[in-house]
Amino acid sequence: MRLSKLAGGIVESPTLALNEEARLLRERGEAVINLGIGEPRNKTPLAAILASSAKLTSGEVKYTTPDGLPSLKKAVIHYTEENYNRLVSPENVIITNGAKQSLFNIMYSILNPQDEVIVIAPYWVSYREIIKMCMGKPVVVSPEDGTFIPRFEEIKKAVTPSTRAIIVNSPNNPSGVIYPPELIEKLVALCENKSIYMVCDDIYHKLTFDNHRAVPAFHFTKNDIENSHIIVVNGVAKLYGMTGFRVGWVIASRQLVRVMANVTAQTTSGVSPVGQAAAEGALNGLQSVVDALRLQIQNNRDILLQELKSFSGVRLIEPQGTFYALPDMRAFNQNSVEVSRFLLEKARVVTVPGKEFGMEGHIRISYSGSVKDVTEGLERIKWALDPNSPNEIYIGDKRMIRDWS
């Protein structure tokens, strides 16, 4: 069978692959704990349920325009004004099938073959693959000091005449760090001086802890949206725990939004009106649901920090936001793929290898689930890896004995 070289070069999503392995183990009756998936376990906000139900009840579930329903755009405009202190017009907003499609359509709309996009490590696994799918070239910048925040000079050094964009994800998946305001300010200036797009993946921007705040890039420019090189990506998946609705949006110049709308029209067409109604309900409903979710996740983060302190050899830079941690596991094994597979095989705990995020030797742990999952999952990880932990443990109803060193 003859297949596309471009498609054949795209790697399988490691998160989805491990989730599938975990599902198969569960079907066999294994007591698997999933600390790999980035998905809050809260119920969908009531306002979103009621809004989507009303749309279904109306029976008017038809095609939508490629750029989104006017009423949802209005809600996004209000959200942008309230959270970014930036007034935009409906022509600056496009509704998408989730933030992932937002990023793909942005790259498809701005890249020519072999254009470069700077990706800051650690990075979300899909950035590099999306860039390659759009025939661009990902250029990874890894912090030289071993932290999760690069120096501005390291990023600036990576800029070439072929650089088309820089992707900035703060709070960061997978590390949970928030980039300092002075770094964001310098990146805005760099992008505007060099006519480079600054693509801000803000999907976690309100999931921050301990009074930390992710300062928006818009804060550091006097240019209006038409003349700014800032592109903002957001959605309802993480802040409202609405991952299955697949609704995101992009704030950008009118010209870019028009091109993205054409791309959408020739690929997926518009977003489901039921999903758009749910997103509108969430954005217009009580925002206390976001704070409640944030506090729940912060509590899980605090439990994770306490549990990891008892590990021998594990190092962790404290997450300031998101619901991920990226502990350094090199004291046990330099190969993060082997660590994650070992934990799934022995402890029945799903994690994601740090190699997939540009951070070999680390693993990503998601603490978006229940307190029980976080506590028990970490207990199992410690049992499997730390020789100073008790030799026996129960996984489900099975008594397990550690017979390896």
Neighbour-count burial of 161, counting CB atoms closer than 10 A to its CB (0-12 exposed, 13-18 middle, 19+ buried): exposed
For the chain, first and last CA: distance in Å?
46
Pick from 137, 183, 179, 141: which is nearest to 161 by CA?
Answer: 137
* Cβ within 8 Å of residue 195, ≥6 positions away: 229
Closest CA to 175 of 203, 147, 211, 202: 147
pLDDT of 361 reads 96
pLDDT at 322: 98
Pick the closest to residue 228 from 183, 179, 181, 193 (CA basis): 193
pLDDT score recorded for residue 17: 75
403, burial (CB in 10 Å: exposed 0-12, middle 13-18, buried 19+): exposed
What is the rounded distance in angstroms from the CA atom of residue 339 to the CA atom of residue 33? 16
CATH of 5-43+288-401, picked from 3.40.1160.10, 1.10.150.130, 3.90.1150.10, 1.20.1250.20, is: 3.90.1150.10
Nearest-angstrom CA–CA distance, 292 and 83? 18
Cα angle, residue 121 at apex, residues 117 and 122 outer, rounded to 5°: 130
What is the three-state SS of the chain? CCCCHHHHCCCCCHHHHHHHHHHHHHHCCCCCEECCCCCCCCCCCHHHHHHHHHHHHHCCCCCCCCCCCHHHHHHHHHHHHHHHCCCCCHHHEEEECHHHHHHHHHHHHHCCCCCEEEEECCCCCHHHHHHHHCCCEEEEECCCCCCCCCCHHHHHHHCCCCEEEEEECCCCCCCCCCCCHHHHHHHHHHHHHHCCEEEEECCCCCCECCCCCCCCHHHHCCCCCCCCCEEEEEECCCCCCCHHHCCEEEECCHHHHHHHHHHHHCCCCCCCHHHHHHHHHHHHCCCHHHHHHHHHHHHHHHHHHHHHHCCCCCECCCCCECCEECCECCCCCCCHHHHHHHHHHHHCEECEEHHHHCCCCEEEEECCCCHHHHHHHHHHHHHHHCCCCCCEEEECCEEEECCCC
Q: What pLDDT does residue 16 have?
A: 73
Q: How far apart are CA 72 and CA 2, in angstroms?
A: 43
The one-letter code for the residue type at 135 is: M
Sign of the CA dihedral running 76, 93, 265, 116: negative
How far is 40 from 71, CA to CA, in rounded Å? 26
The structure's pTM equals 0.95
Fold of domain 46-284 = Aspartate Aminotransferase; domain 2 (3.40.640)
Q: Which of 42, 43, 21, 17 is nearest to 32 (CA)?
A: 21
The one-letter amino acid code at 297 reads: I
- The confidence score (pLDDT) of residue 141 equals 98
Q: Domain residues of the chain, as ranges?
A: 5-43+288-401, 46-284
pLDDT in tens, the chain (405 residues): 888 888 888 877 766 777 788 888 889 989 999 999 889 989 999 999 999 999 999 999 999 999 999 999 999 999 999 999 999 999 999 999 999 999 999 999 999 999 999 999 999 999 999 999 999 999 999 998 888 999 999 999 999 999 999 999 999 999 999 999 999 999 999 999 999 999 999 999 999 999 999 999 999 999 999 999 999 999 999 999 999 999 999 999 999 999 999 999 999 999 999 999 999 999 999 999 999 999 999 999 999 999 998 888 899 999 999 999 999 999 999 999 999 999 999 999 999 999 999 999 999 999 999 999 999 999 999 999 998 888 999 999 899 999 887
The confidence score (pLDDT) of residue 198 equals: 98
* Whole-angstrom distance, CA of residue 329 vs CA of residue 331: 5
Q: Which pLDDT does position 312 carry in this prediction?
A: 84
Q: How far apart are CA 250 and CA 299, in angstroms?
A: 31
CA 205-142-337 angle, 5° bins: 90
